Amino acid sequence: MSADGVTESSGPVPEMSDHAADCAARLRDADRVLLASHIDADGLTSAAIASSALERAGIPFETVFSKQLDKEEVASIAATEYETVLFTDFGSGQLDIIADHEAAGDFTPVIADHHQPADADTEFHLNPLRFGIDGASELSGAGASYVLARALEDEDGANRDLAALAVVGAVGDMQNSQGGLHGANAGIVADGVEAGVLEETTDLVIYGRQTRPLPKFLEYASDVRIPGISNDQNGAIEFLSDLDLDLKADGEWRRWVDLSMTERKTVVSALMRRAIASGVPADRIDDLVGTTYSLLAEKEGTELRDVSEFSTLLNATARYERADVGLAVCLGDRDDALEQARTLLRNHRRNLSEGLQWVKNEGVTVEENVQWFDAGTRIRETIVGIIAGMAVGASGIRGDIPILAFAEKSAEEVKVSARGSHVLVRKGLDLSVVMREASRAVGGDGGGHSVAAGATIPAGTREEFVAEADRIVGEQLG
């Protein structure tokens, strides 16, 4: 209820509305704001949503990005002239450090994040976990930023168009299960659909519906492996050629988006028949079809039209020190920035596939409760987590225990990424605790989500770290 007794709209996530209003009011009180965000798809979309909302509210701001918000990074933020700092998609895990700076009078923090909070608190802290909402699967950093943006809008519903970016962030953080985005995310999807910027459909959940020519589309589908098609270029071409469809136009293979509904149905049925005939288990076959999201304002056949391809495009910029390019794309640049992002994407894709191949060739070391590999300098530390996630359950790599992935950060520091599964989380696995405690035991620090977390540790402490992590995982699952 507002002062004049009129019931205000409850916003996309009612549980968070009141606190979002307090955070928005604090931002409106600021002369100017330093916006600090994380360098992945969720962090970029968080920054784009927050900066659009600040801009529309007439609040001056500047945006900075950081790979990892550690003591040094927070100190450099504190050293700026800004008295108000808005942290998006990080900040909660570093609350202890941030609270110290706040107490010292360096700045007032406003945080829109979804990571496990460190042991401290602050007044303006918009995190779904504080409202009984799961930060790993029900709301992302972009989602929390969207809730804040809705609280900042001048006119009811004026920022609803930003729901499109919030959905890209959620999908970038892998919050879409086969049944689609759920929990608080569902409220954001509804906003986007109502605003006319988002479409939710049931479709093949293979990566590349918008941009990949059909044979590549099927060949690269790796989540559900179909013998004779997945990872088999000739097999994929043969499968498509045997269908009674005209799948080429002007001699070029068409893409999934180019097909009519009837044509798509024909391909899906044939794929399913092939999968059944090759002995793919029924529940895996069901996984071929699921909920997908498209951005209606974007051109068909572009990376931006499909939410999942959009998020990969963003990772391809920010994880290679070009967050500026990704942010510009989010903010609507469809010329130079998009061209640059596409070049970065080609490089990112090559790195992902080479990295995954390297892991498959080298294999992993299996301990009692975890498995691990150390990529050294072979895989960039900013993408070793994505590759670890793609590797779990791939040929020769177990899917029933968590994976730890190491990569060299510098001569002094090593990056660790950890990935588990929802089945393990239900049994008690919490990788954010594993990463925080095991890294602190060897003089590093870390955190994240129960299903996916990370840490930085001093060079030379890997063995001790693995032993510590192995022990904690054993306790959690024991």
Residue 151 corresponds to which tokens in the numbers above? Answer: 């609280």
CB of 68 to ligand C5P, least distance (A): 5
Radius of gyration of the chain (CA): 22
The answer to whether 368 and 376 are in contact (CB under 8 A) is no
Q: In what order do the strands lie in the sheet with 108-112?
A: 61-66, 33-38, 84-88, 108-112, 124-126
Position among 89, 102, 138, 374 found at the interface with Zn ion (CB under 5 A): 89
Number of Cβ atoms within 10 Å of the Cβ of 399:
12
Q: For residues 30 and 44, which CB has a smaller minimum distance to ligand C5P in the complex? A: 44
42 binds Zn ion (CB under 5 A): yes
Query: In which element (H, E) is residue 61 found?
Result: strand 61-66
Tokens of 149: 């943006």
CA distance 370 to 379: 20
Task: Report d(CA 106, CA 30) in Å as an integer.
Answer: 14
Specify the stretch interacting with Zn ion by CB under 5 A; choose among 56-64, 170-178, 327-335, 373-381: 170-178
Using CB under 5 A as the binding rule, whether residue 445 contacts Zn ion is answered as: no
* Interface with Zn ion, residue 141, by CB under 5 A: yes
Choose the one of Zn ion, ligand C5P, none that binds residue 390, judging by a C-beta under 5 to 8 angstroms depending on kind: ligand C5P
Picked from Zn ion, ligand C5P, none, the partner binding residue 213 (CB below 5 to 8 A depending on kind) is none
Q: Does residue 173 bind Zn ion (CB under 5 A)?
A: yes
Of 85-93, 239-247, 289-297, 317-325: span binding Zn ion (CB under 5 A): 85-93
Instruction: Give least dist CB 14 to ligand C5P, A.
Output: 23
Question: Are the CB atoms for 205 and 180 separated by under 8 Å?
Answer: no
| Buried/exposed 180-206: b ≥16 CB within 10 Å, e otherwise | bbebbbebbbebbbebebbebeebbbb
138 binds Zn ion (CB under 5 A): no
The partner in contact with residue 417, picked from Zn ion, ligand C5P, none with C-beta cut-offs of 5 to 8 angstroms by kind, is ligand C5P
Partner whose footprint covers residue 305, from ligand C5P, Zn ion, none (CB < 5 to 8 Å by kind)? none
Helix axes 41-56, 141-152, angle to 10 degrees: 10
Stretch that binds Zn ion, among 134-142, 194-202, 256-264, 328-336 (CB under 5 A): 134-142
Nearest distance from C-beta of residue 430 to Zn ion, angstroms: 17
Residue 143 engages Zn ion in binding (rule: CB under 5 A)? no
Residues forming the site for ligand C5P (CB under 6 A) = 38, 40-42, 68, 89, 93, 115, 136, 172-174, 207, 220, 222, 311-312, 315, 349, 352, 385-386, 389-390, 417, 419, 445-449, 451-456
Q: Residue 43 has which token pair?
A: 């962090």
- As measured in angstroms, the least distance from the Cβ of 128 to ligand C5P is 12
- CB under 5 to 8 A by kind: which of Zn ion, ligand C5P, none does 385 bind? ligand C5P
Question: How many other β-carbons are positioned within 10 Å of the β-carbon of residue 103?
Answer: 10
Longest dimension (CA), the chain: 71
Residue 34: beta bridge partners?
Answer: 62, 85
What are the residues binding Zn ion (CB under 5 A)?
A: 42, 89, 140-141, 173
